[in-house]
Structure 1
Amino acid sequence: MSRVMVVFRRCALVAVAALVVVAGGVGTAEARSTALSPTDRAFLAGAHQSNLAEIATGKLAQAKGQSAEVKELGAMLVADHTALDAALREVAASVRVSLPATPNAEQRAMQAQLSKASGEEFDAMFVAGQLKGHAAAMALGEKELSNGTDASVKKAAADSAPVIMKHHEMFMAQAKAMGLPASVHSGLSGVAASAGHQVPAVLMGLGCLLIAGGLVLAMRRRTVG
């Protein structure tokens, strides 16, 4: 056998081996994506939409907030949720999951309402909406920690939990300072697991009450003024 043929056969073997490695890698990635549980997928999508919503409303608060505290809270949301979302998108890419391009319908509706509000009405609506949004985000994260199956997705939930908890506590303090209801307790441990699908409905109801209370307070202040 000529030296040329020997070299050709060796190159062919190397090429075949490379194809096997590449195919195996693609197969592993696809298998990992397929192995994700519905809970894992729901967390990645929901957390990403929550981040998008918080970034958008945070920018609105910076631009339209009446009080310095609301403007500062808005800046915090933009910075922290931008960082959280960057980490989340890395996890989603590693497990080959496509993320939604926009916040969900309810979050977009809240942004539209905030865009039309101003002054004390804006501040009250913003704080009440953030209490509701962060309570829902905590419930979503706890559900992933309890029922998720992928280690990297569960780690993303665990890493984001302290940040979201801190935000919720800060908005509870701000609500109290503004005289708004702050009845959505930050300690939701065990609620998501025990209440199941009832949690989103409960949070939605509480959120509506908070927003309504904030609007009433703002209207009263405007009338008095």
Structure 2
Amino acid sequence: MRKQLVTVALIGAAGALCAPQAYAAPVSDQDTAFTQAAHRANLAEIAAGQDAQRNATTGCVKTVGGVLVRDHSRLDAGLTALAKKHGIALPGSPAPEDEQKLMAVRAKAGTAAYDKAWLAHQEAAHTKSLARIDEEIAKGDNAEVVAAARAARPVVAMHLDMVRGGTCHAAKDSKTVGAGNGGQLAAAMNDRVVLGTVALAGGALLVAGAGLWALRGRRSDAES
């Protein structure tokens, strides 16, 4: 009888330690495709922002380029951490079409035509990114990936407002959008998993202790 109680207690403790993995949210093809595409878009926007800082002719476009570098770097840090957590392989460069479009814009470097082409390119790119984000919010399965998309949405929408209509609006930079929320969310979810593991394991140990205490009581009664 004693061996049976100990065995049950050990099984309960092991189950508690494994529980967070059992309840881990799935990462669907939709979540994976979004994460990879968003990473590539971030890389493309960082490159485009750096290019504008070097080659734009107006201070406004240079400023917007700096905003893109700042925000997409933060977004990508959170996204990369999330991808690592869920085992999602990320590409190492922007999409080829984005690189080609930036090269076409760069060919106009140092002229007013560059600024106009850069703004038009960024309006198209951010419109596409916003649509991709909305699709993930509507169809995504993994809560963390969907939350990262939600955190990115106001950032991308703000960038779109800054270039909408091919006109530069650097003043629309709020400087308060939490672009790093994706990474913060991943860290918070990790903390919850750890706390859940501790709580479940502690409960299992309490059950095991209660079982052993009851067994000892029965033995004492039998001996007396």
TM-score (norm 1): 0.63
Aligned to 1:111: 102
Aligned residue among 106, 112, 119 for 1:120: 112
Aligned residue among 140, 149, 159 for 1:157: 149
Structure showing greater radius of gyration is: 2
- Paired amino acid for 1:109: Q
Aligned to 1:51: 42
**Could you tell me how far 1:159 is from its partner in structure 2?**
0.3
- Paired amino acid for 1:138: L
Task: Give the Cα separation in 2 of the matches to 1:59 and 1:38.
Answer: 32
Deviations 1:191-224 (A, max 9, x none): xxxxxxxxxxxxxxxxxxxxxxxxxxxxxxxxxx
Contact 1:32 1:95 in 2 (8 A): no
Query: Within the alignment, does 1:68 sit opposite 2:69 as a pair?
Result: no
Task: Give the Cα separation in 2 of the matches to 1:177 and 1:148.
Answer: 33
Unaligned 5+ segments in structure 2 are 1-10, 170-224
Deviations 1:25-57 (A, max 9, x none): 9x949x969x31111011101110110000001
Matches within 5 A, 1:66-145: 66-118=57-109, 119-145=111-137
TM-score (norm 2): 0.63
Matches within 5 A, 1:181-192: none
Contact 2:137 2:149 in 1 (8 A): yes
Contact 2:57 2:112 in 1 (8 A): yes
Contact 2:119 2:167 in 1 (8 A): no
Quick one: higher RCO (CA 8 Å, sep 6+), 1 or 2?
2
Query: Within the alignment, does 1:172 sit opposite 2:135 as a pair?
Result: no
TM-align CA RMSD: 2.5
- Paired amino acid for 1:163: V
Contact 1:62 1:74 in 2 (8 A): yes
Q: What is the percent sequence identity of the aligned residues?
A: 30
SS at match of 2:41: helix
Unaligned 5+ segments in structure 1 are 1-16, 179-225
Task: Give the Cα separation in 1 of the matches to 2:106 and 2:118.
Answer: 10
Task: Give the Cα separation in 1 of the matches to 2:168 and 2:63.
Answer: 15
